[in-house]
Structures are given as C-alpha cells and as structure tokens.
Amino acid sequence: MNKVVTSAEQSIADMPDGATVALSGFGLGHRFPNTLLQALRHQGTRQLTLVCNSLGNAGEKGQLLVENKQVKKILASFSVRPGTRTPAETQIIAGELEVELIPQGILVERCRAGGAGIPAFYSPTAADTELAIGKDMRYFNGKAHVLEHAIHLDYALLSGYRADRAGNVQFRGGARNFNPSFAKAARVAIIEVDEIVETGEIPSELIDLPGIFIDRVVQNTHFIDARKLSRSGKRAADTARSYLGKPGLTRAAISRNAAKIVRNDSYVNLGTGIPTEVSNYLEGRGVWLHAENGVLGYGGTVTGDAIDPDVFNAGGQFVQPIAGTSYFDSVTSFEMARGGHIDTVILGAYEVDQDGNVANWSLADAKRGGIGGAMDLVAGDAELIIVLEHRDSKDRPKLRKHCTFPLTARRRVNWVVTDLAVLHWVDGRFVLEAVAPGFTSEDIVALTEMEFAVAPTLAIMETA
C-alpha cells in the first residue's frame, strides 16, 4: 500500500466546488497545512465550507482562500481576532461570508463524532448561552446539556511531522491538536509532512494516527520559520493604567496575585493574554499547567535558540517542556476540562457581573468574534479565576451589574483579580478581599459598577 502522492496539486485535484474542507492549525500560525493551502488557492476551487480553529493572519493560511473569494462559509472557533483586520472580517461585515462560531472543544468533538458514526451527542458546553438558542436542551443529573450534531467532512487538509507510505503518522509536541478528529471525520484525509519514510521506519509506539485514517500523504514544501510565529501586539506585562490619578497594578502583578490563589500540587489551565503570565509565579509549587492545544506540564516562555516550533501554549507562545510533559490531541485535552480533571482555570474576560456571569468571547457580534476553548474549559467543575483590568481603554467598567457582551458561562466565577482588587464569590455574592497599594474600598466602589460586599479586613495586593 502506497499513499504517497507526488505533489500537493495532485492530491487535491479531485476536490470539487462546494466541498466541506477542514484545515488543521492552531492559533495564528502553528502547523497549518501551508503547502496544501497554496495548492488549493492555485487550483481555485470555489464555494468551499471551511472547518477550522481559525483562518490565521491576513495574507496567509486560510485567509488566502477567503481573500481569493473561494469560501462561502466557515465553521470556526475564531472568525476574527482582536486588532487583526482580515479579508474574512471584511467579507463577514459585507454579508458575503457565512459564519458558525463553535467552541473549540465542541468543534473537535463534533468531528470526532462524525468519524465515529455517532450522529449527535449532548454536552454541557454553551448551555444557557446564546449559542444554545434553537438547540435541543436536556437535563442530566440536574445540569443543562445542549444537543450537538456530528460534522462530516469531504476533505481534511492536515499537517504532521512524519508519515510512512502506508499513511501512518507521527506528530511532534503539541502539534497533534485537531489533526486526528479532522482526519477521522473526512471522506478524504490528506496530510503534508516534513518527512516521508518507508513503512516500518516509524516505531509502532510512535505512530500517533494509524494509516487507516489517512488517504494521501504529500511532502511539505512550504516551511515556516518558527521564530516568525512570535507575534505580539499586546501591551507589555510591566505597564499599568492609572485610576483617580494613581497607578494600578501592572499586568504582571495581576498575574502574581492570581497565582497566590492557585493551590499547590494542582492542575491548572491558563487562558491567553494576562493568564499566561501566571506561569511566572508558580515555580516550585507542584502545579502542572494545561494548554488546550494538547500539552500538560510546561514551564515558562522561551525565545531564540530555545524555541521548539511544536511546543507552545494556548496563546501560541513557545514554552519550555519540563520533566513529565505530555502531549495529546484536542479531544483528549477537552476531556480533561469537561470531565472535571482540571482543578483551576484562569481566563481573561471582557466583563464579569455581580451574579458571577462571565463574558469573554465576542468582539462585535455573534459572527465576528472568538470563542476559543473557554466555554469547554468552564463546563467542568474547576475553580474559575478571571483576570482583567478593572476598566477598559475607554474607561468603561468591566465589573458590571449585568454583562453587556454575550455570556461565556452563568454563575461560574469564583474569583476576580484586577489591577485594583481581588473579589471572592462567597455565599452568593462577591466580597472585596484585597486592594492595590494606595487604593481604598471607597475607590473601588467608585470605579466599579457591580455591587459587592467588603471584607472586614482588607489585604494589600502584591506588586510584581
């Protein structure tokens, strides 16, 4: 059996207009099937429905197909990202591109179901949110669950490290993520790899995806320099906003105070943005960090020669593997979250309200935004810590009476840590337990829309 195809162009030559096609790849640049994407753009196949985590940045990755007007619809966890204007967003606004936003864990689970012959399933993810509107809802053990339908693919365009002629695939590091579920859901699964070897040259215990799920193998000819993936447009961790003429804490200090809440010897998921800084304050405490792209146990961020292009966190930052680091696909990753195996989840957010609701996924409307994995991460029983600045760049409150953004989850927040305050959910309300140096409880009341109680004795938050 020989599944190796001479070229990427040949491997997709039979793809018809109107096909449903999955694209592997995480974040803005990690392990996209760039060789296959270039071939598909050149071929010009039209009216495609793309299934993916995201389309990448403007001028590259899946955006190439959108830019070339080859795409009619996307099913994705991120249709757009903050601060990045893309052809996809332009076409969405113009009504030229249809969008279905799907939580990341549900996206892979729907594909896994499609490949496993399961037509539908119930999940706690997104229950009581806008994404559940119009879907069947059932209660199991007193908890709401939403009916989700399997996704079936015509083609899956994948990326891996190594494959043999029988189609057996080996992945590296945290780059497995969506590949297995997409491959299983596809009628035709095509993978581009860095290296093609003879059957038997990959040790059996290193085969991560058996060849039965792969139809065609092509050589990757469009290599990406990993160092170019480190894109950072966010404010530095050592910068701080001012309130009432006084400086609040830096973003790094927010993370330090959140880290104090984390229990020793626990499993902790860190979201993107400010939460990634929390890893700098957990050393020596026996904490195992979880990243939803498929990594358990990692250290701090790395640069330069220390970069391994396939070892990165959910924010796309390159990180240091540690003794005991393990890698797995996205289905397994979200099993850890929804199954209650993760002790603490630390997320950023746009808003938290006085009922313990959190909103962290919409930028403008239900079509232009990014859900990511947050809804799946909070669907389990993990303690939820929200980290954010107290007010936004336009001086609007982020701690509201009622969230104005679409909700990620209802009544799930246990702690809120801002650059001014630490609030703890106790007996059905938030209690102010600590304030930034130089601020009083009266200051926090003046700068906060939500109602909260004040602890009898207030602690002073630590600086970075």
CA distances from 170 to 197, 307, 310 (A): 11, 20, 13
CA nearest neighbour of 450 among 334, 319, 331, 355: 355
- CA-to-CA distance for 49 and 98, rounded, in angstroms? 9
Question: Residue 296 forms beta bridges with which residues?
Answer: 290, 326
Active site residue 89: no
Among residues 109, 292, 351, 389, the one annotated as catalytic is 292
Bridge partners for 242 per DSSP: 247
Q: Which residues are catalytic?
A: 292
